[in-house]
Structure 1
Amino acid sequence: MKEKGMTEKRKNGQIPEAINHILDTVKEIFAQEPQVYETFKNCYTNTLDTAVHHMKDNTVYIVTGDIPAMWLRDSAASLRPYLIPAKEDKEIADILVGAAQRQAAYICIDPYANAFNAEPNGNCWEKDETEMNDWLWERKYEVDSLCYPIQFAYLIWKNTGRTDQFTRSFAEAAWKILTVFRTEQYHEEKSGYRFTRRNTYYTDTLSRDGKGPLAKQGIGMTWSGFRPSDDACTYGYLIPSNMFAVVVLGYLEEIARDVLKIPDMAREAAVLKEEIYEGIEKYGITRKEGFGEVYAYEADGFGEFNLMDDANVPSLLSMDYLGYRGRSREVAENTRRMILSETNPFYYKGEKAAGIGSPHTPAGYIWHIALCMRGLTAQTAEKKRQMIMLAVSTDGGKNLMHEGFCADDDTKYTREWFTWANAMFSELVMDYCGYKIEKETHVSCGMTE
């Protein structure tokens, strides 16, 4: 890896002018709450300071924080707040495009992998029983890992006008994504994907000799082995990830039609989008006493549902943020009420905060990502501000966000350095201050708090 450009400037203490404008605005708006500004400044500059690595092939490698690997999901989410200054700053835009190009190259190597090495050095999380190669840090198949790179490339286009992320490798990666999503509609019959991790927790490996949870075939939705937490799915159809797939397939349809000029890809994306959407609306909804009809977190197509939500995005809480709109606004609102209550087994209340955590972290630990997502999907500025202040007051005195923190004592937390959480807080503060990321809004579900 080599360092140059923006990273070198940051090492010399230079903050890009486009970012300085944002910092000045936040400082002015939160003049009476200086800790908000200090935390925002730390979080917002942290990724540029620590996670961005320029590669010899002019792509950009993004570490996820305290783990020296590049996750497709985390790298896209961590860079998302820089879409705003990238409108004015070419060097920031170059970082985004370089990361998108590297994501596409990784998908071409293996669309079933979730995390990759900077080079083919054989480093990995564990010696898992799956089709590994020296580029792969981990090969947990997650639908969202293929959604994020499409979303990221699309948002770069819409926010900066850049299209050089749509390379030949991007087109190849897009075809691979379509093929995988199509194959995994029939996981039981057509998929060769297997994953086994020995001597570990059951959430870190797949059942049935690595084949994973049994799901009904051909119902529209596409199967996922793991959640965006990297935990194994209980049931094979992860509803929030399928919702995300619907949205990004719409993006891919537009990219293929208007940029890549590949009509067959546009048609395939459109057809697959409709099939997955129909599957969600038919098989992803159930009834919960006290709430009415709600979206499940997971389903198997046979009638079994997992009613919960997880802090990691995509989540049910993030439907509006992602841009998914189902047929019934009432179902979406019922779902939000359910998951923001103790009916959700991972909703915790304590002396410091109340919010959504994850089975990925200890019981009673709330995630900053979920607090920020609640703010980003709130319909009022007052609620957004409330979530900002709650996040700042639960940072454990570090002026940075963490993964999970104890609801009773925020000095007890997981992960000292987590770029995704820092990015979510940054985006929430910017959203409150009027900095909006350009995206398609006509598919927003429009839920209220």
Structure 2
Amino acid sequence: MEEKSALATALMDYADAHPLPDAAAQKMFRTLLPDALVKATRRQPDGTYFVATGDIPAMWLRDATFQVLPYVQLIEDIPDLKPILGGVLRRELAFVRLDPYANAFNETPSGAHWRADDESDCPLSPHVWERKFEIDSLCAPLLLAINLYAETGDASIFDVDFWATFTLILTTFEQEQHHEQSPYFFRRSNTDENDTLPNNGLGNPIAYTGLIWDGFRPSDNRCEYGFHIPANLLAKTVLTHLLPLMPVDELQLVKRTQALVTAIEQGVIKHAIQTLPSGEQGLAYEVDGLGHARLMDDANVPSLLSLPFLGAIAADDPLYLATRAFILSLQNHYYYQGKRLSGVGSEHTPPQYVWPIAVAMEGLVATSAAEKMAKLRLIAATTGGTGQCHEGVQKDDPAQYTRTWFSWANMTFCQLALDVGHQREKEGLR
């Protein structure tokens, strides 16, 4: 408790020393910066750290990485963050080794599950909260490790356990390039169709593309078509970053990783580049290799909108610019324009609900401090008086929202606040 209290003070002091040019946004930044650390993160007996997603007690691997990612860039200013972030990484890696097809885990082997009657190809571990296969869940610890290494230069995180977990992740990805040969399935009865896989739990038909099959979107809703393009591009990105860091004697691992990267690249070029309603070429959200493509974007990261933030594409790439213009228009079925709020929502929440995560991501991929700050102000003005970043917010009435405490959204706001500070310094504004 003393450790957390001291770190919370250090984080608030950092926010005070780097004020934003808007009182409401600054107040939120100062309040929310310690959010994930103080409220969601708990030290485990083995020295690792469990990160709850918020008002749901489980740890989603994807959420956990994005919850702590803003802290990585603060390690130089607040060195005591480093062992905690390393502990989060080790906990994520341990969960992947436990079940690479699960997306969310319990703090203890309590046997708690989102739905105890879910059916899959193996029994639910008492440590598993939910067993929805999502590519981004396996990318999450790799993304965290890459960012930690880039910030600290400490290669000790790439130990035997890391590479053993990486090999398991790679093997799983290779298996799901050939999903028709995979034993994995997921069925949930008496639920919305977007919460279970069709075709007796196997998902809709697909053809081989070289891409990795994905059961569920980052929203935890099922993929309509089996190849989720943002997740595949995130996988390609993290694998590419790790290639030069692999042990020198792991030549076969290097060869397999490079083969997968190449297959994803070729699959995206052949299947994911589609003609948008504007007539320009852009990226589809999902494809199936059978000629079908879903032109849309969803608020959850990885999304098409978030690709430059994830390092998967340049923000000024014409393919991305055309895709972004489509995403941020009413031609994207999940883009909503309202009296108080406009932005991308999700099938996961009611229609007309905009996600603060997506609004923050608009800021994170913007190129000027003014654009970034405008998104911070918008979020701060639409919390429904709570000072919290919710999951989804009704576009005309911010008093209507989903999830009282959603730590991932809070920390993405902080990620943008830190980015605003860096951009303002770059532009000589302070």
User: TM-score, normalization: structure 1?
Assistant: 0.90
CA distance in 2, matches of 1:346, 1:291: 20
Superposed displacement of residue 324, structure 1? 1.4
Which of 334, 352, 355 is residue 322 of structure 2 equivalent to?
334
**Which residue identity does 1:155 align to in structure 2?**
N
Shift of 1:372: 0.3
Q: 5+ residue gaps in structure 1?
A: 437-449
How many positions carry a matched residue from both structures? 421
Q: Which moved more, 1:34-43 or 1:74-83?
A: 34-43
Counterpart of 1:232 (choices 222, 228, 237) is: 222
Cα distance change of structure 1 residues 94 and 5 upon mapping to structure 2, 3 Å threshold: farther
Give the equivalent residue in structure 2 for 1:155: 147
Are the aligned partners of 2:24 and 2:377 in contact in 1 as well (CA < 8 Å)? no
Matched, 1:223 2:213: yes
2:71 counterpart of 1:74: no
Partner of 1:126: 115
Whether 1:255 aligns to 2:263 is no
The answer (yes or no) to whether the contact 2:12–2:33 under 8 Å persists in 1 is no
1:69-113 deviation per Cα after TM superposition (whole angstroms, max 9, x unaligned)? 111100000000001222243321111000000111111111000
Please give the residue correspondences for 1:238-317 in structure 2 after superposition, counting only pairs within 5 Å: 238-257=228-247, 262-317=250-305
Segment of structure 1 superposing worse, 306-315 or 278-287: 278-287
Deviations 1:118-144 (A, max 9, x none): 121211100210121111000000001
Q: 1:383 to 1:22 in 2, by over 3 A?
A: same
The reply to whether residue 320 of structure 1 matches residue 308 of structure 2 is yes
Q: Decide which of 3, 6, 21 is 1:6's aligned counterpart.
A: 3
Equivalent residue for 1:136?
Answer: 128
For 2:41 and 2:145, the matched residues in 1 are separated by 17
Alignment-mate amino acid for residue 209 of structure 1: N
- Post-superposition Cα deviations, 1:43-77, rounded to whole Å, max 9, x if no partner, equal 11111220010000000000000011111100000
Check conservation: 2:12, 2:34, Cα contact below 8 A. no
Structure 2 gaps of 5+ residues are 425-430
Residue 446 of structure 1: aligned partner: none
Cα distance in structure 2, aligned partners of 1:84 and 1:431: 10
Equivalent position of 2:157 in the other structure: 165
- Residue 396 of structure 2: aligned partner: 408
- Give the CA deviation at 1:288: 2.2
CA distance in 1, matches of 2:27, 2:71: 18
2:286 & 2:276 partners in 1: Cα distance? 14
- Equivalent pair of 1:42/1:400 in contact (CA under 8 Å): no
Hey, what's the Cα distance between the residues in 2 that align with 1:43 and 1:255? 34
Q: Which residue of 2 aligns with 1:193?
A: 184
Is the contact made by 2:369 and 2:423 (CA closer than 8 Å) also made in structure 1? no
Matched to 2:93, the amino acid is A
Equivalent residue letter for 1:324: A
Q: Aligned partners of 2:37 and 2:244: how far apart in 1?
A: 30
Please tell me the residue identity of whatever aligns with 2:113. C
- Report the AA paired with residue 168 of structure 1: V
Which string of whole-angstrom CA distances, capped at 9 and with x for unpartnered residues, describes residues 332-380 of structure 1?
A: 2111110100000000011101110001000000000000000000112
Q: Deviation at 1:5?
A: 5.9
CA distance in 2, matches of 1:297, 1:99: 30
Residue 102 (1) aligns with residue 102 (2): no
- The one of 9, 24, 47 equivalent to 1:15 is 9
Q: Secondary structure at the match of 1:319?
A: coil
Find the partner of 2:54 among 65, 79, 87. Answer: 65
Kept after mapping to 2: 8 A contact 1:357/1:366 = yes
2:428 alignment partner in structure 1: none
Percent identical: 38
Provide the residue aligned with 1:447 in structure 2.
Answer: none
Q: Pick from 198, 213, 223 the counterpart of residue 207 of structure 1.
A: 198
Q: In the alignment, what sits opposite 1:441?
A: none
What's the CA shift for 1:331? 2.0
Deviations 1:383-427 (A, max 9, x none): 111111111111111112111000000010000001110111001
Equivalent residues of 1:240, 1:319 under 8 A apart: yes
Structure 2 Cα separation of the partners of residues 213 and 164 of structure 1 = 42
Matches of 1:286 and 1:216 in 2, distance apart?
A: 17
CA–CA separation in structure 2 for the residues paired with 1:181 and 1:116: 20
RMSD: 1.8
Counterpart in 1 of 2:427? none
Hey, which bits of structure 1, 4+ residues long, moved more than 4 A? none
| 3-state SS of paired residue (1:286) | strand
